[in-house]
Amino acid sequence: MTIQRAYRVYRARSTTRRQEDLERRAALKIQGCYRRYKQFCYLKKLHNAAIVMQKHFRMRKRNDKEENNAAVEAVIASVPEHPTLDGQTICIQVPKTNSTLLRERAATTIQVAYRYRHRKRQAAARKIQNFMRQNRNKLRKMHAQNEDGASLVHQKMNANNQQQQRISLASNGTTEIPSISTMTPPPPSSQTTQTFHVAAAQAPPPHHQPRPQ
């Protein structure tokens, strides 16, 4: 009974899994067909819209051409015939149509937009240059301040060292400390040299003690 129950469960599970797989494949096929149909409808709609736009554009161009021709014919008809005008050039001023006015307006708009963009880019470049100059000046000031601070610290350290030397010499018994500029000894005079020679002559010879063997 246990084996039969396990077999029935296995058969039911495999059948359910196979059915789910078939349903999933069918759903994928249906979705693919629906997407292709929607894409086909969209492309067909675009094609119809392009046809309508081309038709209206051709109609507009034909109407403009007919208007221009009619205006030229009206101007030519209004010019009086004169025998002296044979073989000469006649300047005819044709009134501007809507298409010409639209083109001129579009060209003016494009030029204005281009000039505005050019001015905007120049203003941005000037701002960037001013910012760079300010930063450069700040860095120069900081370097100068650092150099001044370093020189002050060096001077303070030298003063502290001289003060410590004076204190140490005063503790040893000397009262006056020669500065750096007065460290060179004065030239000896004749009296000092004579006393030195006399003292050297009166000094007893050194006593040599025997070295221990």
More reliable by pLDDT, 206 or 28:
28
For residue 190, is pLDDT > 70?
no
Compute the distance between CA of residue 45 and CA of residue 57 in angstroms, rounded to an integer.
18
Compute the mean pLDDT over every residue in the chain, rounded to the nearest whole number.
77
CB 168 within 8 A of CB 177: no
Out of 87-101, 151-165, 195-209, which region has the weakest mean confidence (pLDDT)? 195-209
Compute the distance between CA of residue 3 and CA of residue 16 in angstroms, rounded to an integer.
20
Which pair of tokens denotes residue 96? 């501007």
The pTM for the full model equals 0.30
Residue-wise burial string across 152-173, b where 16 or more C-beta atoms lie within 10 A, e elsewhere: eeeeeeeeeeeeeeeeeeeeee
CB 67 within 8 A of CB 60: no
Compute the distance between CA of residue 139 and CA of residue 145 in angstroms, rounded to an integer.
10
Which pair of tokens denotes residue 185? 């000894």
Out of 16-30, 125-139, 171-185, which region has the weakest mean confidence (pLDDT)? 171-185
Cα three-residue angle 102-108-114, rounded to 5 degrees? 135
Question: Residue 191: which pLDDT band, with cuts at 50, 70 and 90?
Answer: very low
Reduced to 3 states (helix: H, G, I; strand: E, B; else coil), residue 183 is: coil
Task: List the one residue out of 32, 30, 10, 12 whose CA is nearest residue 22.
Answer: 30
